[in-house]
Amino acid sequence: MYKSTRGYEKLVSSSYAIINGLAEDKGLYVPFKIHKLKNSLEYLAGLPYEELAFCILKEFLDDFCDDDLRDCIYKAYDKKFEDNKILQIKSISNTHFLELYHGPTLAFKDVALCLFPYLLNKALINNKQKENILILTATSGDTGKAALEGFSDIPRIKIAVLYPKDGTSLIQKLQMITHRSNNSLVISLNGNFDDAQNCIKNILNDSKIKKEFNDNGFILSSANSINIGRLFPQIVYYFYAYGNLLNKNIIKHNEKINIVVPTGNFGNILSAYYAKKLGLPINKLICASNENNVLFDFINTGIYDRRRILKVTNSPSMDILISSNLERLLYDLSNEDSILIKNLMNSLEIQGFYEIPKSLKEKLNEIFYSDFATEKESINAINKVYKNFNYLIDPHTAVAYSVYEKYKEKTKDKTQTIIASTASPFKFPKTILQGLNVNTSNINDIEALNVLSKKTTLPIPTSLKNLDKKPIIHNNICPKDKVLQAIENFAHIGGDLLD
Ligand SMILES: *Cc1c(COP(=O)(O)O)cnc(C)c1O
């Protein structure tokens, strides 16, 4: 069963939590209890990805029957992934890049978003729900296309994606606005990612709006990582990576590892924390920020302060000032003190900041370490890794690498370390070329793809070829106060359909 981080007392099933996204008191759903896995790490290391996913997801989705859960997993993890491999690991001495970007949209979000729609579809059946679902998603670039792809033409589900007009890379934007399916709407928002996320949260939190949609046969939900259906599939790859290192004798039985995660909304690193709770031996979880370093400040001072200007950086999927999933971590670390969490979150919303008690900060620092990389440092990291190891990393992964280098320098820690490699470098070709000292002032992202491919002799991923020649399907630009109307029109509610 699931409960809310803000103390609302009703317990709900996993299907209910997946369908509804947010709890009624605006809190986030969390599992009633997370137990250590019964199976040994050696046993888990011997499983194929799908069966490992089954073992782990079974812990969290207890109202799904085994056959249904397996069915979802096997449908999700098929030929959509390059070479049928969900992930690949590239090791450079004791640093292991966990390449999570071999799915259809070339970012780690595919791993969760290929599975989530199937889970949602089964959840509707488990919950005997008659209504259809309208998914609302804010994106800083990668979630949007991954969600559009995952939900493409899935029965009973419509999806609307909201992205910040100037907040994504050209390739990310093209991936979204050229997306063709019968059930999707893509809106460009005049604002930044936090505006987009707030827009969606405000709609999802408004009981009047929700009722209006309900009356018209739609349940509103979200595909952002505030939905548990997004988080749990991400736990699997940390276990899989650990098993891989065990099988290769790189680590010994029960040896602890570090995990470095380039962090935005705190979903991916929270999944790693849940993996630790399930029994994965983790020494430090290293939270890497870019110049929007709210989390770095928070982990080092105990003060979360969003009162600053959001910068657009080369790692756009981390350009976030309000990391929603942190709420789940603080809930857990505070021994589920929902009154404290409610106060902190209210303070964040109204005053723009909060400070956690000292004892909570100490607990946080036992497990989490954080630093950030400047734009220059992450470009340098791309350069260094390519020059020294002939290996390309994307700008988000470069932030993680740069932070990890600083961590090693400071702590002299030699623990085997996994770096979550979150996107294909080909999604950000201009930034990568800058890292390789190629002048890009006269070319755009699309031209840069070819230059990058020639320079590195690596092929352009198929899904990005001819992206600029595809017809543009979605060209809505909305101010904040028109978003709801656009979504209503899309769902055929209220608005003028001839508009
Ligand atoms: C979404 C994203 C991140 C941030 O992940 P969170 O789970 O939001 O912390 C990092 N890198 C890439 C490439 C992403 O798409």
Residues 183-198: tens digit of each pLDDT: 999 999 999 888 998 9
User: How much is the average pLDDT of 441-449?
Assistant: 94
Cα of 280 vs centre of ligand 1, distance in Å, is 22
Structure tokens at 186: 């893509």
User: How much is the average pLDDT of 472-480?
Assistant: 93
- Element at 134 (helix H, strand E): strand 132-138
Cα of 397 vs centre of ligand 1, distance in Å, is 10
Q: Which residues are catalytic?
A: 109
- CA nearest to 201, candidates 228, 221, 219, 230: 221
Q: Is the pLDDT of residue 351 over 70?
A: yes
- Element at 188 (helix H, strand E): strand 184-189
Q: Which of 176, 401, 422 to mutate to test the pocket of ligand 1 (most atoms within 8 A of CB)?
A: 422
pLDDT computed for residue 350 by the predictor = 97
The angle at the Cα of 236, spanning 234 to 237, to the nearest 5 degrees, equals 80
Which residue minimizes the CA distance to atom 2 of ligand 1?
A: 317
Percent of the chain with pLDDT over 70: 99
* Index of the ligand 1 atom closest to the CA of residue 422: 13
pLDDT band at 494 (very low <50, low <70, confident <90, very high): low
- For 310-313, which contacts have Cβ atoms below 8 Å and span 24 or more sequence positions? 310/192, 310/193, 310/194, 312/166, 312/167, 312/192, 313/375, 313/395
Q: Is the pLDDT of residue 405 over 80?
A: yes
pLDDT band at 497 (very low <50, low <70, confident <90, very high): very low
Which residue minimizes the CA distance to atom 4 of ligand 1?
A: 264
Residues with beta carbon inside 6 Å of ligand 1? Answer: 107, 109, 142, 225, 262-268, 317-318, 396, 422-423
pLDDT computed for residue 112 by the predictor = 97
Q: 129-133, 279-283, 468-472, 477-481: which has the highest mean pLDDT?
A: 279-283
SS3 474: coil
Mean pLDDT of the chain: 94
The CA distance from 39 to 473, in Å, is: 48
pLDDT band at 8 (very low <50, low <70, confident <90, very high): confident
Q: Is the pLDDT of residue 499 over 70?
A: no
- For 73-81, which contacts have Cβ atoms below 8 Å and span 24 or more sequence positions? 73/115, 74/50, 75/118, 76/114, 76/115, 76/118, 76/233, 77/49, 77/50, 77/53, 77/114, 77/115, 80/104, 80/110, 80/114, 81/110, 81/114
The model carries a pTM of 0.94
pLDDT band at 325 (very low <50, low <70, confident <90, very high): very high
Q: Tell me the per-residue pLDDT of 231-263, one tens digit each, with 9 for 90 and over.
A: 999 999 999 999 999 999 999 999 999 999 999
